[in-house]
Structure 1
Amino acid sequence: MSRTLTMAPLISLLTIALLTTPAISSVDTFVYGGCSQVKYTPGSPYESNVNSLLTSLVNSATFTIYNNFTIKSPTSEDTLYGLFQCRGDLSNGDCASCVARAVSQLGTLCLDSTGGALQLDGCFVKYDNTTFLGVEDKTEVLKKCGPLIAYDSDELNRRDAVMDYLATSDGSSKPFRIGGSGDISAVAQCVQDLSASECQDCLSEVVGRLKTYCGAAASGDMYLAKCYVRFSKAGAHSHGGNVDHDENDEVEKTLAILVGLIAGVALLIVFLAFLRKACGKGKCDK
């Protein structure tokens, strides 16, 4: 079993992305997910640790918006690390609901995988058998821009000022930040296992990249492994511009097919088990 899994190869192995509005939107909106290609053996101690960890994340989300856990094992390769992070403006109830949904989707997308990560609009969940807790990681996970707009220096200056504000420390070390100016709004967040200085470094990096990548776009989203920034002009969405509509349609179809196939296989296994049990009792036709 591989003991190494970082966000970069994790996302390159399997990434599914679907963004709607770049500012605050539905808590359960799917953003991205990634899984390790390395599988654990069903019924193994590792599976037990995964189940224990994910259960702990869901339970903990009922009273806090961030927590991390380490599940110790006699063998280092079976030791497991995980965390969840909810958006800073969510209530405990919304946070718990989001984390429960993320864990459920992660269990489907990353079935028997030794590591996985999933980001919904309202929360982030990750687990791995190599520790990533407290490790700064500015790997680019996802980026997307909305439609280009007519160049307006005042509007662009206000947009840049809002993002610069989010990336500037006010001495409070807030991991979740929102800002706005006129019809421009933005939101930023760091995963709370980062120190205050690491959070500032991450947000400064993502703001610089987002300005360059999205140029004069009406909206933009950029996620690094440990922080993200999203901005939008009122009424703008992350569709058009650099976004391929057909690609998004194919992503939705692929996700639906994947979930359907997994559900179909599960039903077939249940049916075959029932049939075998019935035959064992002599109820099959001779």
Structure 2
Amino acid sequence: MGFLSKPSFFRFFLSLLLFTNLATSATDYTTLVYKGCAKQAFTDPTGVYSQALSALFGSLVSQSTKTKFFKTTTGTGQTTITGLFQCRGDLASTDCHNCVSNLPVLSDKQCGNTIAARIQLLGCYMLYEVAGFAQISGFEMLYKTCGATNLAGSGFEERRDIAFSVMENGVVSGHGFFTSNYQSMYVLAQCEGSLGDSDCGACVKSAAQRAQVECGNSVSGQIYLHKCFVSYSYYPNGVPRRSSSSSSSSSSSSPSGPGPNTGKTVAIILGGAAGVGFLVICLMFARNLVKKHDDY
């Protein structure tokens, strides 16, 4: 009876590698957060809409190498389509382009040829709509997510609310993007690039108020309004430093993942996987030595 046959060992080690890949991709900036698809599809017998949409996507992806926000229009008359993309303010230029490059494919996969769509990833988003599409308020809530863990008492609400107040002021002086941390509370806010500072501040304030109501004492949450979004996370052991691979327009460091303890969990998973793999290799090596000794 052997510990593991060679085929079994390689299958086991491969499973470790696959699991490692899944763990590290969990905090990737191209992870889908939510989608918004219009119920009505294009009536496009001549392919005019499809051509205009393809041209729009090409323009957005091309501009993502130069800027983190871009809005444009393609087509004419009834076939006019307006679209935009925006990357998170602390994303590096190359990461911004990589993120935006995923959006056209995801839009087609998630929504098909609808007359309007919005695809939100962790690091960027894109939206488009045909001429005449119904408009909504910039303060309309599109999506929310709240952490499963609640922390009542211990001054949590006070720390969160002070951090929100700092964020509401900071996003105005930061001209649409701000990150900071206050007593283990990390906050991030960003407005659509077309918003002025005053409107941006009002939008972020509304989003923060929604977070207080919708998420209550949850230790983390993200609120996405039509024209802005806010994110907060409480890290009891201190806010982890962000990966050096991305740049930031804020003076504060920010974590690389979307929620508390994500980075620590991934590190534990990777360390455990590597440790188990090394142990298996050592056991296999020892087993082979014993077998060779017995053969003599």
Compute the TM-score of the two structures, normalised by the length of structure 2. 0.66
| Counterpart contact for 1:218–1:233, Cα < 8 Å | yes
Q: Does 1:45 align with 2:48?
A: yes
1:217 corresponding residue in structure 2:
218
Q: Structure 2: how far apart are the matches of 1:202 and 1:25?
A: 26
Deviation at residue 171 of structure 1 after TM alignment: 5.5
- Between 117-126 and 218-227, the greater mean CA deviation after superposition: 218-227
Q: Percent identity?
A: 29
Q: Are the counterparts in 1 of residues 169 and 201 from structure 2 also a CA contact under 8 Å? A: yes
What RMSD over aligned residues (CA atoms) do the two structures have, in Å?
2.5
Tell me what 2:186 maps to.
185
1:70 matched to 2:101? no
Match of 1:107 in 2: 108
Other-structure match for 1:198:
199
Higher helix share: 2
Q: Contact between 2:178 and 2:189, CA under 8 Å: does it hold in 1? A: yes
Alpha-carbon spacing, 1:49–1:170, altered in 2? closer, same or farther (3 Å): closer
1:1-286 matches, within 5 Å, as 25-40=27-42, 41=44, 43-73=46-76, 75=77, 77-130=78-131, 137-168=138-169, 172-234=173-235
In the aligned structure 2, how far is the partner of 1:185 from the partner of 1:131? 39
Match of 2:263? Answer: none
User: Residue type matched to 2:47 in 1?
Assistant: S
Whole-angstrom CA distance in 1 between matches of 2:138 and 2:171 = 23
Q: CA deviation at 1:25?
A: 4.3
1:127 Cα deviation after fit = 0.5
Deviations 1:86-140 (A, max 9, x none): 00011111001000112210121121212111000000100101378x9851111
SS at match of 1:168: helix
The separation in 2 between residues aligned to 1:91 and 1:208, in whole angstroms, is 30
- Contact kept, 8 Å, 2:171 with 2:190, in 1: the verdict is no
State the 1:209 CA deviation: 1.1
The 3-state SS of whatever aligns with 2:195 is coil
SS of alignment partner, residue 46 of structure 1: helix
User: What is the aligned residue count?
Assistant: 213
- Residues 237 and 63 (structure 1 numbering): CA distance in 2 closer, same or farther, change over 3 Å? closer
| SS of equivalent to 1:103 | helix
AA matched with 1:39: A
Closer, same or farther: CA 170–223 of 1 in aligned 2, 3 Å: closer
Q: Which moved further from structure 2: 79-88 or 145-154? A: 145-154
Larger-gyration structure (1/2) = 2
Look up the match of 2:6.
Answer: none
Q: Which runs of 5+ in 2 are unaligned?
A: 1-25, 237-256, 261-296
Cα–Cα, structure 1 residues 60 and 80, in superposed 2: closer, same or farther, change >3 Å?
same
State the Cα distance separating 1:169 from its structure 2 match: 5.2
Q: Which amino acid aligns with 2:64?
A: A
Q: Equivalent residue for 2:240?
A: none
